[in-house]
Structure 1
Amino acid sequence: MEPQPRNSVRVFQPKIATDPKCAANATFCEETDLYPYDHFKYILERNATLGKAFDMNQQREEVAQRLNPFEDNFVCKSISRTVFPKAALNKNNKWKFIINQDKYLQGVSVEVCHRENAPCDLIGDIRPGYITYCKQKYIYSKLLSLNDRGNPAVDLFKIPSACCCAYMKQEYDPFVETGPRM
């Protein structure tokens, strides 16, 4: 029997050493390189009590919208959906693996700004000297993840929750024309 070359053996790392590819534009990844599928399978098979926490998630349904979305007008457009992150940024700004595979799913409802930092879609003028912009808001959501030793642990993760219109005062220059001429 020939020994396996060292580079063919995949060593499990419970920590995410560098930011995932999706980190540039998000606080969570639905797919990520080096996701420890086998390690999670091993943990879940040997920890029957962990499975009970996921039974509750299986019964989740989308919350119905209270108003007709086609009649609503928002000053900042957003995209709402349910995601199943495989990695996410925790409250300490560390990327962690999230248990999300097979029948063990943790869905999270997110609302993401369609055009973050773009001007709000306002009807009418805003006072001179002020600008508006769409701002992404976040909440912290509890998810079962891996701690630094590779064991399951609940942690708080930064999840996009709403897109709101914000405003900020600019330095006002009275010699710059800001509106239509009369």
Structure 2
Amino acid sequence: MQDGNELEYCNLSVWFDRETLHAMLQLLVNAGATVTWKEDKEQFLLLVCTQDGTSEWRLQRVNGVYKWQQPDCSVSDTRIALVLYRFIQRAKGHVIVKMFHGSGLLVKHIRYGEAVRIVEIKGAEKKVIYEKACSVTMDQVIAALKRRDAEERIPVLRLELDYELATLYDALHAKDKAQIRRSTERLKQLRREMLLLEA
């Protein structure tokens, strides 16, 4: 991430657990922000105060995990912007980050915590700096659109991914080649399903 005068986060969408939320709160405090929150069974309201002003972030609670969707969020404090950026990466979230600087605008499209497209805009000139290739077929997209249980499936899928990663970790240490192969294939299937559900 490059430093800029102002950062704007658009179409923010991220799912995470309580441990990740606590880690983000700690990083915000360490970055110099005053953080207060109010929580009930349905939502988590977070107020982040810096020298540049106060931001209000509303998170929903769904099936024991947190869902943060926000159409736009401007951050002037670079330290807070960096914490938010790292949090989105850690939680494998989706967002479009606009970085304003003296000579123009840099736009990063982030999916599953990694940049899939970076565009630089200077005046009327637009230059694609980076673009990741897509590996999802049209049949997979249609199958995902037909599913109605995506919001319920995503948290379960995250747990399955964590479990399979732990299994792979153990297999690597035990040098169990058969289990490594099975876990790798299963992780590929789960990743493909996650891409379809969150597309």
> Which TM-score band (shorter chain)?
under 0.3
TM-score by length of 2: 0.23
Higher strand share: 2
TM-score by length of 1: 0.24
Higher helix share: 2
Select the structure of larger CA radius of gyration.
1
